[in-house]
A and B are shown apart, each in its own frame.
Chain A
Amino acid sequence: MLKWLREPASETQITHGARLWLYIVATVIMVLLVAPTLIVVPMSFSDSQYLEFPPETWSTRWYEHYFTSPEWMSATVTSFQAAILTMLVATPIGILAAYGLHTSSLAYIRLVFVLLITPMMVPLILVAIGAFYVFVKVNIVHSLFGLVLAHSLLALPLVVIVTGSALKSYDMNLEMAARSLGAPRWKAFLTVTLPQIRFAVITAALLSFLTSFDEVVVAMFISGGDNATLTRNMFNALRDQIDPTIASISTIMVLVTSLLMVLSQIFGRAKGSG
């Protein structure tokens, strides 16, 4: 250990000992980044009304409350429906656009790219009130359809960026070869190009799902009634009091996210195209 402290740590020959402070600071920061979310997990199993850590008596009553509440269940179903549909809408639209942007050499194509990624630059609250205004006019406010449209808008930039960057590192000559052998363009794309960028496509789909599943601000304005989302109800509950049920829902959400993250690591890793 002491020897290690005196060993050079980088090209400048600084020793590990001389920058021990950096290691300590970085470790503390990394713990602080992860700990808050993880601490909610044991807290959700506390029997107490006031979330304690560590819990004195363990119980699953907050989970029971969540799973037996019709409102929470209906909101959960809505959130999953919206997330899955958003994934199914945003991913193909985004891939088409990324392919179009990549292959069309029209002038001003960069402007189209900027237009398509604006939804991730514009403050969410503006997207929310804008969509709210349109949806009231065409009477789709509080509908699943409207929610999916708005969430697809938010997911679109991620799909365009992720699949677009995969197309950039993909060799277009492969598709050319398929076409010169007689495959129509759409078939060449589906059978040659798409399998090659599949990791990026999977990553993009997972990101679309999460974008919708975690979204709060837009859902607050345009979802409601029977189609209120989980995050909308959580946010409303949070503003009033600290309801321990939220801890159990948070735990479940962290579980869903971790699962998706692991999936993306498994599928996205293989070729580094994610």
Chain B
Amino acid sequence: MAAVDMTGMNAEGLRRDGFLERLKLFGLCSPAILLVLVILVIPAGWLAYVSFLGADGQFSMENYARMINRKSYMRIFITTFEVSFMTTGICVLIGYPLAYFLSQLPARIANICMITVLLPFWTSLLVRTYAWLVLLQKQGLVNTFAIEMGLWDEPLKIVHNMTGTLIGMVHIMLPFLVLPLYASMKAVNRDYMKAASNLGANPVSAFWTIFFPLSTPGLFAGMLIVFVLCLGFYVTPAVLGGGKVIMVSMKIASNIELFVNWGAASALGVVLLALTIGALWITSRFVRLEQIVGGGH
């Protein structure tokens, strides 16, 4: 191909052929593009349109005004952010030591330990949520065990509330933080650490001044994946929250299922989407999008 002479009489024709070829190859994407357009983009556009219609079918901002005026809607947004920030924070506190531990192990042992991160990653989210529901209930394993060990005296209420939701969410989100973080830690050149200690840094300061800053791309990527996933999460808060933790996605569902109010649901959807895109946009400032989505699998 490279040897084709583009300067001759045929240059114009060859260029056209080349363009057609590329167009044909591009055409291979068309079934995929069609699927995304018909099932996702067009409905999303329609939902955005409906969000600006009032109850009478005329243009109105009432669906958005409701979110600001009504206390219950404000609460839902606060809860959503609360759950998302808390989950992300706890995931960092738990996930960073785990990823660091895994990154320090010899490859063979690391691969075995990695199964403990990958197994939950592959297991159905519903099954894991159910498992926590069973474990955390009043007569559940966690309560019985803690009372036997003398950690607390009476069965604590640790499910059907914020505590239960957070426990379940952290368990589900942790692999999404650990996997990109681990990849990023593995990429750190170990010679830098050697150099740091050679120059007199003690292990703690070598870690904080050299290793930690170099692991931040993976950390940020993981944190934002977790945060974005939390923003739109539905199943776990619905089951473990017991109706006390109402997130935006749950309000959207109930607006459609119970009240058949497409306008209200759509407006919430638009705001949720805007928050998600905002978070992703911030992510793209730090890391390439492909890196993040590629890190998951």
Contacts and interface: CB of A to CB of B under 8 A. Distances in A.
A214 B125 contact: yes
B36 A126 contact: no
Size class of the contact patch on chain A = 35 or more
Interface string B122-148: 111111111111110101010000000
Contacts of A106: 22-23, 26
Interface residues of B, number: 91
A11 interface: yes
B276 to A, nearest CB: 6
Contacts of B126: 214, 216, 231, 234-235, 238
A267 B268 CA distance: 43
B293 A238 contact: no
Chain A interface mostly helix, strand, loop or mixed? helix
B137 A93 contact: no
Interface in B90-122: 94, 97-98, 100-102, 104, 113, 116-120, 122
B11 interface: no
A190 interface: no
A125 B293 contact: no
Contact of A125 (B97, B207, B232): B232
A10 interface: yes
Contacts of A254: 123-124, 127
Given A29-B97, A231-B124, A234-B126, A130 B47 contact: yes
A39 B122 CA distance: 17
A36 B142 CA distance: 11
Contact of A165 (B117, B249, B294): B294
A33 B97 contact: no
B128 A37 contact: yes
Interface of A: 9-14, 18, 22-23, 25-26, 29-34, 36-37, 39-40, 43, 50-51, 53, 93-94, 96-97, 99-101, 103-106, 109, 112-134, 149-150, 152-153, 156-158, 160-162, 165, 176, 203, 207, 210, 213-214, 216-217, 220-221, 231, 234-235, 238-239, 242, 246-247, 250, 253-254, 257-258, 260-261
